[in-house]
Amino acid sequence: MDLTKTYPRSVREKYQGLVQLGRTIDKGKAELAGTLGEYRYDCPMDQHLFEYLGTNGNEFLDAIKKGDAAIESFVKSLLAKKTPAEIEEFNREWLDHGPAPGSDGEKYFLNLRNEVAPDRTDVKSWPDLLDLDEKRPVPQRAHA
């Protein structure tokens, strides 16, 4: 995976039923290959995922080092501890996740949004902003 030439998967793309996971795997593969580019493996979004799964960035990277079958097996063992309802709740909440009002994260979010799509004030979540930044279509949302 060369993230100096392409984008990782969208946060929205599910791997074994969980959002964010495919993106994190892509970044881990690029980390190991030395082709991470502007991305960060084990960033706050990845850390939130690891916390949910009951692992950490180093353990996850160890599974990635062993190849796709090891990744699949490792993830299955972690997800076996979750109910389908818990997974869907995580997905729903994560896809709506935006920066905390007044935080440094919000300042970064607004600066990036103004840079990539200043007319898209409807964009309030990190997944939507990342998709816009990576040239993926993001449906217009009703203002809340």
pLDDT digits (tens, 9 = 90+) for 103-131: 999 999 999 999 999 999 999 999 999 99
The one-character DSSP state at 10 is P
What CA–CA distance (Å, rounded) separates 76 from 64?
14
pLDDT per position as a tens digit, 55-102? 999 999 999 999 999 999 999 999 999 999 999 999 999 999 999 999
User: 130 in a domain, yes or no?
Assistant: yes
User: 121 in a domain, yes or no?
Assistant: yes
Q: Examine the domain organization and report whether 34 and 65 are in the same domain.
A: yes
What CA–CA distance (Å, rounded) separates 20 from 45?
8
Name the domain count of the chain.
2
Q: Examine the domain organization and report whether 50 and 121 are in the same domain.
A: no
Find the DSSP H helices in the chain.
Answer: 21-33, 44-53, 57-65, 68-79, 84-95, 104-116, 126-133
- State the residue range of the domain holding 38: 1-82
Query: Is residue 142 very low, low, confident or very high in pLDDT (cuts 50, 70, 90)?
Result: confident
User: 88 in a domain, yes or no?
Assistant: no
pTM: 0.91
Q: Examine the domain organization and report whether 32 and 71 are in the same domain.
A: yes
Q: Examine the domain organization and report whether 106 and 51 are in the same domain.
A: no
Q: Examine the domain organization and report whether 117 and 58 are in the same domain.
A: no
Contact predicate 14/22, CB 8 Å: yes
Query: Is residue 143 very low, low, confident or very high in pLDDT (cuts 50, 70, 90)?
Result: low
Q: Examine the domain organization and report whether 71 and 1 are in the same domain.
A: yes
Q: Examine the domain organization and report whether 4 and 54 are in the same domain.
A: yes
pLDDT per position as a tens digit, 3-56? 999 999 999 999 999 999 999 999 999 999 999 999 999 999 999 999 999 999
